[in-house]
Amino acid sequence: MKRSPLRRISKKRAKQSAEYLRLRQNFMLSRPFCEAFCRNGGKPRNLAVHIHHMAGREGRLLCAPEHWLPVCAECHDKIHKTHVAEAYEKGFLYEAKR
C-alpha cells in the first residue's frame, strides 16, 4: 500500500498565509516608512521592509493589521534584541488581549 506524503503546510495555514500576504502588501503600500526608533524630528527616515507584529503572530494575530507596525530592518532588530525595555515602554511590544 502506497502512502501519500504528509503535507508540509496544512490547508488552514496555507489559507492564512495567502490572506497575510494580501494584507501585508496593502499595509506596506499604505504605510511605507519605518514608524519605530528611526524617526528624525517627527518625520520617518527609512523605508519599512518588515512588519513588526507588536502582539505576536500566534493564531488570529498574524492577520490583524491593528497590531502591526511598519519598520526598517535596523529598528526591527532593536525592538527584539537591543532595546527591548524601550520597545515595551514605547508600545512596540505588548501582550494582546485574547
pTM value? 0.83
Q: Residues 16-68: pLDDT tens digits? A: 999 999 999 999 999 999 999 876 666 667 899 999 999 999 989 999 999 99
User: Residue 71 CB: number of other CB atoms within 10 A?
Assistant: 24
For the cut 60, the answer to whether the pLDDT of residue 98 exceeds it is: no
By C-alpha distance, which of 97, 43, 41, 47 is closest to 71? 47
* Terminal Cα distance for the chain, rounded: 45
pLDDT of res. 68:
96
Question: Given this model, what pLDDT does residue 2 score?
Answer: 84
Query: Among candidates 36, 15, 60, which has minimal Cα distance to 7?
Result: 15
pLDDT digits (tens, 9 = 90+) for 63-91: 999 999 999 999 999 999 999 999 999 99
